[in-house]
Structure 1
Amino acid sequence: MRLTVLLFAIAVALPAQAQSDRHKADAYAQGREIIADIDKIVTPDGIQETFTATLGGAPQVINVRGADRDNPLLLFIHGGPGSVEMPIAWSFQRPWEDYFAVVQWDQRGAGRSYRLIDPEKLAPTLSVDRYRDDAIALIELLRRKYGKRKVVLVGHSWGSAIGLAVAAKRPDLISAYVGIGQLIDVRENERLGFAWTLARAKADDNQEAVAELEGIRPYPGPGALDVKKLQIERKWSIRYGALAAYREDAAFYFNAAALSPEYAPADIEAIDDGSELAFRALFPQLVDLSFLGLTRVDVPVFLFLGRHDHTCDSALAARWLGKLDSPEKKIVWFEHSAHLPMLEQPGRVLTALVDDVRPLATP
């Protein structure tokens, strides 16, 4: 089976037989054609384009879609590390495009960007600061290309760490920041997630889960994170709905890439390679990643938090926002979502973007 990483969520996606069928006969081609036709931007002032830009010395793929090019720009920063959301965007983004020109960006070495540069040369460049600076360079490029002064910045999961770092460093470029599944502190996040998962397993009298979880104590423990321990924790936290509420997995999310009009089969296969590259390079760095010391951000900050999110603990993010000093701040709770509210409650995400965020957007 294909495994994909979403902020350390080791998630099962397409089964092996489906991959084989796709590779041999591209069984999803007709579906992609239908979705491409449905999603085609046909309005006279619309925009629909994909291009490659060199950011920080690395070529990266950018996709821009919107019904009216005069609408505000919204840059969506995907999760992972390495879990691109350009190929999944067709499943939730189209309504956003009536109100924003939406930018999807395959970060360095991820998705369609993976095959544009030698991954071994790229690996030493992968750091939180490099991704942050790539995002800043992309925003500057988008401003010039589309004649905008600022962008709405949306970060999901791992992308919320990049997005928040950008908002803190360059608030002059951003009209509002939205964190979906906001990451605040990796070590504390792991501690809280483990405690929740173990409690759920005990309440469920799941002896197998309890034994495996007890067996990885202390978790996360001092020092670097242990990958094997992480995989065990995620195995059971995902099973209990920490990634997708009321579901035992998030296959519905990851499998959506197979029908993407933006991705050929070879691009889909590159997703795993990019995830592995980013995970291998970044994993040792991330255990000490924390925004607990960030107490002021000079842009409006919105957190879209799933009530059931224990992949990036939503309660931890809410406590952080409560102490943050910013021009405006708000939590939008998604009572029936975990870490993927864009797909779990897409209508509520749309209305929050339109009602709360768009009025602050700078053209």
Structure 2
Amino acid sequence: MTALRRLTSAAATALAVGALLRRTHLWSDGKPLPVVGADGHPAAGGLAEKLYLDVNGVRQGMFLRSRDAAQPVLLFLHGGMPEYFLTERYPTVLEHHFTVAWWEQRGTGLSYSPGIPSEAITSEQLIADTLTVTDCLRQRFGTDKIYLMAHSGGTFFGLQAAARAPERYHAYIGMAQMADQLQSEVLAYQYMLRRFEELGDKRMIRRFRKAPVTVTGGTPRAYLAIRDTAMHRLGVGTTRDTHSVLSGILWPSLRSPQYTPTEKLRLWRGKFSSGVSALWDESLATDLGETVTELTIPLYLLHGIHDYTCSYPLARQFFEKVQAPLKGFYTFHRSAHSPLFEEPERAHEILRDDVLGGATSLADGT
């Protein structure tokens, strides 16, 4: 009887845990959410698909979303860790005007594999992957050109891909565009130390003073260990309202019903294996203002004025220097690092009217 009671208790516990996991979405089937129309029901011509491709010898995944698969195609390059799951909290409505490919790059998210050594992930490799994925999308949707949109770390190789193969793209859209990232980190360090001094946070002041960021000394490990925490605490990280990596990023990723438990594990294994970015050292050693001096396609840069992950003033300086047949810079006054998530209505208007319209009527100074 005792053994039977134990078995019954264990079964009841397992059922309760299973029910809790299902209610919180920690256990999920990973099925993409449907794209809905204006009436709130699944769009008749909608596309919601999780897709895996062989990209230069590595199995890589993405989410495809569109109200109508006949819309122009947009490839989205995330900023180091996939951010597709954040669209559940911050709807972007990109799928209202584009067929969007939320690609999770080599070594991250759906595309993470422990068999890929971190040293194999270089900007040259990611540029090559970007062009291969671009060609797959062009072939699938029967179009000569697509739009390329990159965020944060994705802008480092996305901009270079657009410069290298402009014939594949209608335009390049950079959100939180990287420029001279080492100088950006120096500015971020100085700002955060000053803010913590103003707040009287003695613990953070001590930690920052022990790990100074300089052009000659770079970014010490002790600084990188507190960088994300400090940025989010001060509201200059992912979004203005994300004050904790745990509540603002980790928990939403674990609750997303569009990833299986295994895929959620890959999200964080990829993040932990790459640190800030797999291309961190390379990006610190590169000034994109010197590497990419000209684009032969339209250039659109969207940047939050409160962004210290990628410097707003340095992005503006890059914009002023780079040559392009058409270019527009768009300041988001209520945003930090992710204007598309933080001010989606304005981003939507820019993408609909300027990017798709081949104009810059909404750009700063016009």
- What is the rounded CA distance, in whole Å, between the counterparts of 2:23 and 2:189 in structure 1? 40
The equivalent of 2:274 in structure 1 is: 278
- What is the rounded CA distance, in whole Å, between the counterparts of 1:150 and 1:101 in structure 2? 13
One-letter code aligned to 2:50: T
Residue 146 of structure 2 corresponds to residue 182 of structure 1: no
Following superposition of structure 1 onto structure 2, how do residues 1-363 of structure 1 map, counting pairs within 5 Å?
Answer: 27-28=24-25, 36=33, 39=36, 42-80=42-80, 83-93=81-91, 95-114=93-112, 118-217=113-212, 219-222=213-216, 225-243=219-237, 244-245=239-240, 247-249=242-244, 251-279=247-275, 282-293=279-290, 294-360=292-358
Structure 2 spans left out of the alignment, 5+ residues: 1-16, 360-366
Secondary structure of the residue that 1:190 maps to in structure 2? Answer: helix
Change (3 A) 1:51 1:33: closer
1:38-76 deviation per Cα after TM superposition (whole angstroms, max 9, x unaligned): 759843433222221111211101221111122100111
Using the TM superposition, give the Cα deviation of residue 159 of structure 1 relative to its aligned residue in structure 2, in angstroms.
Answer: 1.0
Say whether the 8 Å CA contact 1:240–1:247 is kept in structure 2: no
Using the TM superposition, give the Cα deviation of residue 224 of structure 1 relative to its aligned residue in structure 2, in angstroms.
Answer: 5.5
One-letter code aligned to 1:181: A
Say whether the 8 Å CA contact 1:86–1:104 is kept in structure 2: yes
Using the TM superposition, give the Cα deviation of residue 226 of structure 1 relative to its aligned residue in structure 2, in angstroms.
Answer: 2.3
Change (3 A) 1:59 1:38: closer
**Comparing 60-69 with 285-294, which one deviates more in the overlay?**
285-294
Secondary structure of the residue that 1:166 maps to in structure 2? Answer: helix
Change (3 A) 1:306 1:170: same
Aligned length: 336
Say whether the 8 Å CA contact 1:197–1:233 is kept in structure 2: no
- What is the rounded CA distance, in whole Å, between the counterparts of 1:38 and 1:173 in structure 2? 27
Tell which structure's C-alpha radius of gyration is larger.
2
Say what the alpha-carbon RMSD is for the aligned residues: 2.8
1:23-43 deviation per Cα after TM superposition (whole angstroms, max 9, x unaligned): 965621699999935759843
- What is the rounded CA distance, in whole Å, between the counterparts of 1:297 and 1:275 in structure 2? 31
- What is the rounded CA distance, in whole Å, between the counterparts of 1:204 and 1:77 in structure 2? 36
Secondary structure of the residue that 1:192 maps to in structure 2? Answer: helix
1:224-250 deviation per Cα after TM superposition (whole angstroms, max 9, x unaligned): 532222223443233211112255335
Change (3 A) 1:140 1:23: farther
Using the TM superposition, give the Cα deviation of residue 283 of structure 1 relative to its aligned residue in structure 2, in angstroms.
Answer: 3.7
Secondary structure of the residue that 1:297 maps to in structure 2? Answer: coil
- What is the rounded CA distance, in whole Å, between the counterparts of 1:22 and 1:201 in structure 2? 43
Using the TM superposition, give the Cα deviation of residue 202 of structure 1 relative to its aligned residue in structure 2, in angstroms.
Answer: 2.4
Using the TM superposition, give the Cα deviation of residue 128 of structure 1 relative to its aligned residue in structure 2, in angstroms.
Answer: 1.1
Report the TM-score when normalising by structure 2. 0.83
One-letter code aligned to 1:36: L
1:145-191 deviation per Cα after TM superposition (whole angstroms, max 9, x unaligned): 11011111110111111211111111111111111111112211111
- What is the rounded CA distance, in whole Å, between the counterparts of 1:274 and 1:156 in structure 2? 18
Secondary structure of the residue that 1:88 maps to in structure 2? Answer: helix
- What is the rounded CA distance, in whole Å, between the counterparts of 2:35 and 2:322 in structure 1? 42
Change (3 A) 1:163 1:319: same
Change (3 A) 1:37 1:48: closer
The percent of aligned pairs where both chains have the same amino acid is 26
- What is the rounded CA distance, in whole Å, between the counterparts of 1:333 and 1:22 in structure 2? 45
Change (3 A) 1:31 1:91: farther
Change (3 A) 1:269 1:355: same
Say whether the 8 Å CA contact 1:88–1:254 is kept in structure 2: no
